[in-house]
Amino acid sequence: MSKSILLSSAFHALIIILTIVTLPFVAKKPLDLPPLISVELIQISDKTNIPFAPKAKKIIEKIKEKEKKLVSEQAPPKKVKKIKPEAIPMPDQKVEKIKQIDDKQNPEVEDTKIKQVSEFEKKEIFDPTNIAALIDKSKENLAETDIKSNKITQSQDKSLNNVGLTLSEEDALKAQIFGCWSIPLGLPYNENLMVRIKLKLKPDGTIIDSEILDHARMNKPGQNFYKVLAESALRAIQLCQPLRVPSTGYERWKDLQLNFDAREMLEG
């Protein structure tokens, strides 16, 4: 029994000694740090500050003086030395002024912020209401057309039911719009990318009115891409008009719905 305890303790001691011995870095002094060239960064946002040009010069000069002093005082290990760029063995390197701008030392903080000028601010930065306004108008119009079309349908019931465009008519229209539609390439590929647009057309194929059916989605947060997609579809219609519509049967296609779906293109 005592033998095994002895053995065990001996081995434990050995292991402890081994671990102590195998940690060579523990005892070492903290590292000195390699020299580093600091770089001037200019902040331009509302939150950060830009030194006013002449002031900046003064500040830079001040800091340079300070640095000179610091260097002559023999830098402590954690201080970052400034080394002249000439010392870098890079043949094609431009000599840069080494500047350090401390925002806190800059009294001109408020003035140097980039401001959005009020007149412009008012005008619109991102204007979701613009399109919405258009849609609202078209809605009113649509209400009228609905009534009208109802009248027509009642009188010409048979001819309207189940009569779409013929295949060739549809193909002609599709082919035209394919050519006009520039699909925005920045779209997320895993979202529903269908934009439905309802059109009201003149007999010659020019557009009286257009309405995006899911327009509410355009202004939802996180659905910015949808607005972009919808706008691209509207552009396509604008670019294509007058649309290549059949020469006859205006009543059939005076109201037309186009379903723009980018998914196939983006996945393929």
Partner 1 sequence: MISNKIFKNVFLVFLLSFVLSACATQTRKVDTQMQGDVYTGTDTVEYLASGVPDRVFFATNESVLTTASRDTLRKQAGWLRKNSDITVVLEGHADERGTREYNLALGERRANAAKDYLMTYGISSDRISVISYGKERPVDSGSNPLAWSKNRRSVTVKAN
Partner 2 sequence: MKKILLFILFFLFNVSKAYCLIEVDITRGNLNPLPIAVSPLFSDSDTKQELKNENNISKLGEKISEVVENNLRRTGLFNPLEKNAFLQNPDVAHLKPRFEDWKLIKAQALITGQVKFVDEKLRVEFRLWDVLAAKELMAIAFTTVPENWRRVGHIISDKIYERLTGEKGYFDTRIIYVAEQGPKTQRIKKLAIMDQDSVNTKYLTLGNELVLTPRFNPTNQMVTYLSYFKNLPRVYLLDIETGIQEVVGDFPGMTFAPRFSPDGKKIIMSFAKDGNSDIYTMNLENRIVNRITNHPSIDTSPSYSPDGKFITFNSDRSGFQQIYVMKSDGSNVKRISFGKGLYGTPVWSPRGDLIAFTKLHKGKFYIGVMRTDGSGERLLTENYYQEAPSWSPNGRVLIFYRETKSNSEGKGFSAKLWSIDLTGYNERQVPTETDGSDPSWSSLLSN
Exactly one of 1, 5, 21, 41 binds partner 2 (CB under 8 A); that residue is: 41
Q: Does the protein bind partner 1 through residue 31 (CB under 8 A)? A: no
Q: Which does 83 bind (CB under 5 to 8 A by kind): partner 1, partner 2, none?
A: partner 2
Q: Judged by CB under 8 A, which of 173, 204, 244, 248 binds partner 2?
A: 173
Q: Which of 200, 197, 224 minimizes the C-alpha distance to 211? A: 197
Minimum distance, C-beta of residue 35 to partner 1, in the bound complex (Å): 21
Burial class (CB within 10 angstroms; exposed 0-12, middle 13-18, buried 19+) of 134:
middle
Tell me if 95 contacts partner 2 by CB under 8 A.
no
Taking the complex as a whole, the smallest distance from the CB of residue 266 to partner 2 amounts, in Å, to 7
- Residue 30 near partner 1 by CB under 8 A: no
Alpha-carbon distance 58 to 64, whole Å? 10
Q: Which residue of 7, 18, 133, 163 would you call a contact of partner 1, by CB under 8 A?
A: 18
Residue 21 interacts with partner 1 (CB under 8 A): yes or no: yes
Beta-strand ranges (E) seen in 104-162 are none
Are the beta carbons of 131 and 218 closer than 8 angstroms? Answer: yes
Contact 205, 245 (CB under 8 A): yes
Site for partner 2 in 12-31 (CB under 8 A): 23-26, 30-31
Supply 53's token pair.
């040009």
Per-position x/- string for 51-80, each x denoting binding to partner 1 as judged by CB under 8 A, each - no binding: ------------------------------
Element (H, E) at 227: helix 224-240
